[in-house]
Amino acid sequence: MSGLSLHLQKLKKFSWSGIAALICLIFILFVVLYTFFHLQHDPNLTNLDERLQGMSLQHPLGTDQLGRDVLTRLLLGAQQTIGYSLLALLAALIIGVPFGLISGYKRGLVDRVFMRIADGFLAFPDTIIAIVLSGLLGPGIGNLVLAIIMVKWVSYARLVRSTVLAESQKEYVLVARTNGLSPIKIIRKHLFPHIIGHVLVLASLDFGKIILLISAFSYIGLGVQPPTPEWGAMLNESRPYFQTRPELMIYSGLAIVVVVLLTNMLGDYLRDHFDVKKEVEQ
C-alpha cells in the first residue's frame, strides 16, 4: 500500500512512557509464551499437603489454597486474560472497521440501519449487555468473549464511520472522485492513513477495558470456569484467605492493574503520536 504512510506529523518531544509501555508489554507477552513451553508445574495438579505455603525455591510465589504453584498459574492465567482480550479486540476490529467504512463512505440504507444499531448500543452500557448475553448463552469464557465482541464492534464501526464521514467531505476526496478513482481505491489510498491512527489509539485504550471486563466477569463466576487459571478467577478464589494470605490476592490484582496501566500508557502515547483529537475521547 504505497499510499499508506505512518509519519510523525510534528516532531513531538520524545515521550518515554509510550516506549516503556511497549517494551514491558512485549516482555510480558514473551514471558507468557515462554511458560507455555517450559512448564515446571502442572497448574491444575492439586497437592493438599503443600497448601498455602509461603515463598520457597520450588514455588517462587508460594502455593494457593489447593497447593497449586501460584507463579505458573499467574503466568498461564495471563494467557487466558490477555489472550481472550486480544481475541475479542481483533474480532471486534475485523467486524467493526469494514462496517464503519461501508456505512461511512457508501451512506444510504446501510448507514441508516447501522446508525439505529449504534444508537441502541450507545444507550445501553456494555457491561449490562455482556451480563445479559452471558446470561442467555450461559456462563463460560467462550460466551463471554462472544458477548464482548458483540458489544465492542459498534464503537469501532462508529469511530471509523465518523472519521470517514469527516474526511470524505473534504475537497481532496472530491478531487479524487472527479479523477475517476473507484471508492475502493479512494478508501485504500486516501482514507486508510487517517483511520489507522484513530483505530490504533482506541484499540489500545479498549484493550485495558476488555481485560478488566473479562477479569470482572471471571470474578463473579460468569467468565472462566475453575480450574483453568485466570487472574479474575484467581482473585475470587483467594478472597476467603484474604486475612491469612493477602499476597495471593495481591499477585493477581497487581497483574491486572499493571497490564491495564501499560496498555493505557501505550494508548496515550499513540494518541499523541497520531495527534488524534477528541473523537477518540471515550
Q: Does 240 bind another protein (CB under 8 A)?
A: no
61-69, 79-87, 154-162, 214-222 -> range binding another protein (CB under 8 A)? 214-222
Binding pattern for the stretch 121-150 against another protein, x by CB under 8 A and - elsewhere: -xxxxxxx-xxx-xxx-xx-----------
Q: How many helices (H) and strands (E) does the chain have?
A: 10, 0
Check if the beta carbon of residue 71 is closer than 8 Å to that of residue 59.
Answer: yes
Q: Does 243 bind another protein (CB under 8 A)?
A: no
Phi then psi dihedrals of residue 69, to 5 deg: -75, 120
39-47, 79-87, 179-187, 255-263 -> range binding another protein (CB under 8 A)? 179-187
Binding pattern for the stretch 8-27 against another protein, x by CB under 8 A and - elsewhere: -x------------------
Q: Is 202 helix (H, G, I), strand (E, B) or coil?
A: helix
Shortest Å, Cβ 111 to another protein: 16
Q: Does 189 bind another protein (CB under 8 A)?
A: yes
Residue entry with cell 490476592 = 249
Q: In this structure, how many other beta carbons lie within 10 angstroms of the beta carbon of residue 106?
A: 12
Of 27 and 124, CB closest to another protein? 124
Q: Which is nearest to 229 in space by CA: 210, 206, 248? A: 248
Dihedral sign, CA of 111, 114, 120, 121? negative
Check if the beta carbon of residue 28 is closer than 8 Å to that of residue 254.
Answer: no
Size of the site for another protein (CB under 8 A): 41
> Among 12, 106, 112, 170, which residue sits at the site for another protein (rule: CB under 8 A)?
170
Shortest Å, Cβ 54 to another protein: 26
Shortest Å, Cβ 41 to another protein: 29
Q: Which helix (H) or strand (E) holds 214?
A: helix 192-219
Of 71 and 187, CB closest to another protein? 187
DSSP 4-35: -----SS-----HHHHHHHHHHHHHHHHHHHH
| Bridge partners, residue 69, by sequence | 63
Q: Does 1 bind another protein (CB under 8 A)?
A: no
Instruction: Give the binding site for another protein (CB under 8 A).
Output: 2-3, 5, 7, 9, 122-128, 130-132, 134-136, 138-139, 170-172, 174-181, 189-190, 193-194, 216, 219-222, 281
